[in-house]
Structure 1
Amino acid sequence: MMEINTKFGKICIARVHLTRDEAELLINICGENCQIVKANCLEEVVFATILALKAFAQGRNKAKTVKGEILLRLAGVRQIREAINLVGAGEGENFIVTFGTENPCKLLTKILSKIGATEVTLNECDREIVKKSFERIAMTETL
């Protein structure tokens, strides 16, 4: 689990391995200050989250919620349904990010304890993969 301080508040991120049932349960447990996504890299989830929070702070959001905005930016598309199909939570390794609270890691710990999920080590991605991910995510700004 990692906490990151941003200009738009703290975020906390963890990587977990989920069964299909755990993923469904987690989707129901996760409130408005939490998003679960399938992604390749820690860095791309953090970048998408920061841009989503920034878009809301500046009134440039395309989605109705921050968690929807994270999906759109991470997937690099404009339609929520398409974003869910591309990067939505599912069986296997997922990233869970919490935001919008004073202590997002406390919230994340509470959420993970409800399903008994075990964290997977957070590793940095190859720089070329991160670069391509950042370009895709940043393109959402112009869509």
Structure 2
Amino acid sequence: MYNNKRIAIAKILVENITQIFEILPNNVQILNVECWEKVVFATVLALKSFERGTNKAKTIRGEILLRVSGNLQIKDAINLVGAKKGENFIVAFGENAEKDLAEVLLKIGAKELQLTNCEKEKVKESVEQIALVDVL
């Protein structure tokens, strides 16, 4: 698990996606991408966009989806990076991020996997894609 006080992230193995969405609180998002770094960077920018009032989505969860996918349509973003059966990343944000994430992991019963760093080139490409949402 990664934790920086306001953001906590874990890599999980998911069997039943439908059940998870019924449990997720408003400060937790689940995504199907290759790199945890991409999720953290998108979450930081989503939080900052709400602080500045430059957000494109109505919710922080939606803003994270848009930024990770590099797409401005929620429906398309869900298709591209929304949770799927198998390996996913789950991110909690806010004052009690680590505690909230731990509670959700307990409730959904997903197996937590080890976080591994992506190649620097992949992370660089991800950062560039995420930053594009601000100019779209």
- Measured against the shorter chain, the TM-score band is over 0.9
The alpha-carbon deviation at position 35 of structure 1 amounts to 0.2
1:43 is aligned, of 37, 45, 51, to 37
One-letter identity of the residue aligned with 1:57: E
Please, which runs of 5 or more residues in structure 1 have no aligned partner? none
Amino acid paired to 1:111: V
Alignment of 1:14 onto 2:10: yes
Say how many residue pairs are matched: 136
Within 2, Cα distance between the matches of 1:51 and 1:28?
A: 26
Q: Would you identify which runs of 4 or more consecutive aligned residues in structure 1 move more than 2 Å?
A: none
Preserved CA contact (<8 Å) 2:23 2:108: no
Q: Measure the CA separation in 1 of the matches of 2:109 and 2:54.
A: 37
Q: Which amino acid aligns with 1:81?
A: K
Counterpart of 2:2 in structure 1 is: 2
What SS does the aligned partner of 1:14 have? strand
Residue of structure 2 in register with 1:130 after alignment: 123
After superposition, the CA RMSD in angstroms is 0.8
The secondary structure found in structure 2 opposite 1:85 is helix
Counterpart CA distance in 2 for 1:108 and 1:81 is: 25
Are the equivalent residues in 1 in contact too, given 2:36–2:89 (CA < 8 A)?
A: yes
Q: Please state how far the C-alpha of 1:104 moved relative to its aligned partner.
A: 1.0
Sequence identity percentage: 51
Does 2:100 match 1:107? yes
Structure 2 unmatched ranges of 5 or more: none
